Structure 1
């Protein structure tokens, strides 16, 4: 061979070697580094079947399951396997047309591709599932029924705090926080279901099935060696008393408002009622989407949890707080009296009081029992004008510090989402309202619980815990324990918070004695419970609403706050009934019956007629009720036999 051919030979060899090297490198990359194609190959040969775990169950304080699981089925489709099936009959069973059938197939391909399973029809009604189960051989291969545990509510109560679950949406799937989920998964959207989602959800299991060349399952892959078992979610144990909850919901029927009852010793929520409410079974199962749409547009806003999302002027229920601050600042003593003659006149205008008789504000206890407006407005002024603060502005700052320490003006941190902070008259708000020029007369009404002051029912109930505990509280919460849980998830709810360590025991004692007088001889005599020392305060809060662009006076709200027994208290409560007039008319009997039931486990015979009246009386306006669909929705919902039986037991004991 010529020497001139040697370089050409080497060039050709190098070219061939280079091409082989490229092929080897590419094969190595495709088979070892890049997993995409191996996954596609596996997808053609192996069916990955998701096994959904049971969500954790929720129990009340006595171990009764108030939220549990029932079995429904999703109809799953593998588009590539849908061949020569009776599509007309399938459409007839599902009550859809061929256009909808094609649309669902197209959506399934878009979501998961042609060879992966996707949801075709979710949470089938029992009658639909029954027909499908009988005829599934007509729709195979291609379609399969997949078990899906769903929520049921045997007592039909607690909708606003238990919450509901729903399918994860595409936007959520894009977020890192939801990396453990996939299309078609369900998660908690509201209430406890949302807050404790990671605890309740459990862990999905995976079953790998080998498919033949016709895409039909032939059995487990490697005898199930790669399968993972579904792990059920953990159970929640609540402080809630379901009997108290049911009784409260029954008494709030036909009314707008809220009830919050708390155990002062732990901060555990004993009952939380938002009226009007709805049967939580409406948001579980096949008709959830339809019912949700109706509830969201209902005139009575049943989806609004008024206990934490609505705020109200507290009216006279705020007077114990005003008195406590004044005592602590030293601007009054328990014997301090005020010469009220039917109104407060020291701010250049006449502000009416409910009493004119001499001596009705002779001291703190008497003024509390008679609920003298003038007395507590004057206490507010004495507190913020206190010389030791160096001016009214600094005095207002100090006064609102007291309110903040007692849980007003900010979220308390309850373990359900969307809690509102309420409003207190801090200097920023005062400056905005009065363009920087104000004094202690500008918002003198806050001393008696009106004016620039809006509080949630939860905050009012928590304030009663603080007074009952003589200066401390625990963050209000529903969940007391989680089965088999060793995390610190509940730690913040177990920590005692001392908000008034500098307030003397005598100051608390004097306010508590005044609240006891309110019940024994004052405006809340209807709250008396035989053999139990009850402390409380009524409220009749003025209420304004914008009508045709003008703020218009509406019927007053009826309020009551209190706790019992006076010593070693076991229940603190706040009740608000909107547009219902005097506090003693509705809020007092509702609160008293609930306290009696919780403390004595019965309702006395003499109070049964009062209970019956509370359950039957409607305070909601006729136009609002006429437009509402809640009652009709509840009447056709799942029959909560356990709830009905429990109510009968309560009423018969």
Structure 2
């Protein structure tokens, strides 16, 4: 009985096995349905690039948006072109260009797609769309082109361009492909991860001619692209464009921030350029032209340029000296014994010294600060005093990076005792007489416009600041704002010590070193002028500087202006700052005479005086028939070097 059951079970298994074998034989040998389908169709993975996040100003005015375009990719191993000349005519490229592009594509990968042509408009793509069916290996991908309707803020925004080979190789997590676009410089680079969005993937069925036959599995495995987050900035575009107009025919920077929040309202780097130049198909050509421009418009001067702060640094001297106890608001210093020249009569107290920008006054303030430690050895006293000076000034954000949300911020220079030990080859080989130019913001001090506008905001707040930043939020204000742009930084200077300094700053605008036209009614501007030494490259004039805030009580805006080669700080820079503050506070310009003067002024130095300029070499003349030149009656002697006097730093 058991033996019969055994053979029954074996027979069942054999029948099942035979059934499977018969079915496999039918599918693989007799039925050609699947073989025909495999030969006619293939599954293609199509990556969907999301729209990049748009950029808005503080009033929801659009600064950057996306225009749909098409990028054409090529996979070299799949390429079949019956008539290369006809193909090049259709694509509007030359044969050498075609060979160059295909060579780069093959070097990247024969089997992977890489960029062939980018940013084809809808009209251009419509013209070639039908013809592309006859050319295997080419595929269009919908992309977008950054468009800048405001035509401003180019240096702060940065630009979007093709990813470099180095960036491709250095990816921690592989995301980008050759030919992809990525943010470079400015906010586009800083917030690349948020702006780029998340890619989607579609699986499409194609026949042997590359014609789409529909979605594979009805899109069951497709993922949708997620658009990038919109960036809300603190920029006021209306005031930004007005500040641009004031800086025409000038080199320099204008920065304005809201003191209570640290949000940047205006960011001008002059000379500037239209950001649309670097978002077109002609990126390379336009970029090369900007690189060759002798006035260097690609440099983001608000955060990358370093200047001597001039007399604006006297504000820090006054504050830290009061905190130390070596200076009282009633302290009076004259001019006697000071090696520095000055335009005022002397005999000022602290308020008057700030108002009139008295150089000898701050010479004595700095000297007393360094020697206030009680050390009798002159060299040791200077080192101890300078260390305390450095540590107190550093709390204003000087001498290090502030941490603004842009790449390439410069550090600047706030000298330390070690700095001079190295310069003078020993700790007991320098003293106050070697460093006294620091008292009026000259010497080895180097500060960016960003740090000076932050100083203005700190004084406006009476002792604290929030790190300046462009971002206001993602999607809407306050959403996604990093914690570091909410944190208050204290300077360690008591509130009461700011009051006489602010009185002096108001006096400087009302009846001090600022041109009278810049004392615009209704804005109550407080400020400090500066003239930064500029002894490089033979420039005739020094740099004009102004920092300030308005109104005096409950300030709404802090401003810093640098105008290179413009001379006196109370004229060029102060005028620009006053007009920017007026436009922001009043939403209109009433100081029309000052507006006309500023817009008519031209401080661009001649190209021949700029660093790097090379005078064209004239062809040699044939002198074979010329008579020898007569000998000169006398020979000129080389002048002996003289020590340059420190200029008036108002």
Q: Same fold (TM over 0.5)?
A: yes
What is the CA distance between 1:409 and its match in structure 2? Answer: 0.5
| Aligned equivalents of 1:441, 1:491: Cα separation in 2 | 44
Please, which of 139, 144, 148 is the counterpart of residue 149 of structure 1? 144
Cα contact 2:203–2:219 (8 A) shared by 1 = yes
Aligned equivalents of 1:577, 1:173: Cα separation in 2 = 40
Structure 1 residues 162-177: aligned runs within 5 Å: 162-177=157-172
1:563 corresponds, among 538, 549, 555, to 549
* Change over 3 Å in CA distance of 1:176–1:80 after alignment to 2: closer
The equivalent residue for 1:367 is: 353
Show CA shifts across 1:437-483 (max 9, x none): 11122111111111111110000000111111111000000001112
Match of 2:420 in 1: 430
SS of residue paired to 1:526: helix
2:343 to 338, 354, 360: 354
Distance between the aligned counterparts of 2:606 and 2:96, measured in 1? 45
Aligned to 2:256: 261
- What's the offset of the Cα at 1:277? 0.6
Post-superposition offset of 1:176: 3.8
2:53 is the counterpart of 1:56: yes
Q: Deviations over 1:332-378 (max 9, x none)?
A: 2111111225xx53xxxx321122x3xx3321111111111000111
* Structure 2 CA distance for partners of 1:319 and 1:137, relative to 1, 3 Å: closer
Cα distance in structure 2, aligned partners of 1:237 and 1:43? 50
Output one character per residue of 1:93-119: Cα deviation in whole Å (capped at 9) or x when no partner.
3333335434434443443434x5432
Matched, 1:94 2:91: yes
CA distance in 2, matches of 1:620, 1:382: 40
| Distance in 1 of aligned mates of 2:609 and 2:424 | 39
**Secondary structure in 1 matching 2:407:** coil
SS at match of 1:442: helix
**Paired position in structure 2 for 1:222:** 217
Distance (Å, rounded) in 2 between the aligned partners of 1:361 and 1:55: 61
Partner of 2:434: 442
2:541 and 2:566 in contact (8 A); partners too: yes
2:282 — aligned with what? 287
Map 1:185-584 → 2, pairs under 5 A: 185-340=180-335, 344-345=337-338, 350-355=339-344, 357=345, 360-388=346-374, 391-436=381-426, 437-483=429-475, 490-500=482-492, 503-524=493-514, 525-545=516-536, 547=537, 552=538, 554-584=540-570
1:327 CA drift (Å): 1.0
Q: CA deviation at 1:165?
A: 1.2
Q: Displacement, 1:309?
A: 0.7
For residues 173 and 316 of structure 1, what CA distance do their matches in structure 2 show?
47
Answer yes or no: is the 8 Å Cα contact 1:47–1:217 preserved in 2: no
Secondary structure of residue in 2 paired with 1:544: coil
Distance 2:132 2:403 in 1: 53
Q: Which 5+ residue runs of structure 2 have no aligned equivalent?
A: 1-37, 613-650
Query: TM-score with structure 1 length normalisation?
Result: 0.82
Say whether 1:119 aligns with 2:119: no
- State the 1:485 CA deviation: 10
- Kindly tell me: are residues 366 and 102 of structure 1, through their superposed partners in 2, closer, same or farther at Cα, counting changes over 3 Å? closer
Q: What is the CA–CA distance in structure 1 between the aligned matches of 2:443 and 2:39, rounded to whole Å? A: 69
Separation in structure 2 between the aligned mates of residue 467 and residue 598 of structure 1, nearest angstrom: 19
Residue pair 1:316, 1:448 contacting (<8 A) in 2 also: yes
Shift of 1:161: 0.6
Q: If each structure's helix is expressed as a fraction of its own residues, which one has the higher value?
A: 1
Partner of residue 599, structure 1 = 585
Q: 1:495 to 1:423 in 2, by over 3 A?
A: same
What aligned pairs does 1:73-88 form with structure 2 within 5 A after superposition?
A: 73-83=70-80, 85-88=82-85
- Matched residues in 2 for 1:627 and 1:617: separation? 23
CA deviation vs aligned residue, 1:154-198 (integer Å, no higher than 9, x gap): 011000010011112232222243522222221111100001000
DSSP 3-state at the match of 2:232:
strand
Q: In structure 2, how many angstroms separate the alpha carbons of the residues matched to 1:439 and 1:418?
A: 34
Flag the 1:556–1:240 CA change in 2: closer, same or farther, 3 A.
Answer: same
Deviation at 1:132, TM superposition (A): 2.5
Secondary structure, counterpart of 1:123 in structure 2 = strand
Residue 28 of structure 1 corresponds to: none
Quote the Cα distance in structure 2 between the aligned partners of 1:193 and 1:128: 27
Change in CA separation of 1:53 and 1:624 when aligned onto 2, cut-off 3 Å: farther
Q: In structure 1, what is the Cα distance between the partners aligned to 2:120 and 2:158?
A: 21
Deviation for aligned residue 1:505: 1.9
Q: 1:234·1:484 contact (CA, 8 Å) conserved in 2?
A: no
Cα distance in 1 between the residues matched to 2:61 and 2:508: 36
Which residue is equivalent to 1:637?
A: none
| 1:86–1:139 contact (8 Å) kept in structure 2 | no
Structure 2 vs 1, CA of residues 484 and 379 (structure 1 numbering), >3 Å: closer, same or farther? closer
Q: 1:526 to 1:402 in 2, by over 3 A?
A: farther
Match of 1:643? none
Q: 1:624: how far off?
A: 5.7
Question: Is the radius of gyration larger for structure 1 or structure 2?
Answer: 2
The whole-number CA distance in structure 1 between the counterparts of 2:103 and 2:148 is 35
Work out the CA distance in 2 between the residues paired with 1:72 and 1:470: 51
Deviations 1:111-135 (A, max 9, x none): 3434x543211223677445434x5
Relative distance call for 1:614 and 1:80 in structure 2 (3 A) is same
Of stretches 80-89 and 170-179 in structure 1, the one that deviates more from structure 2 is: 80-89
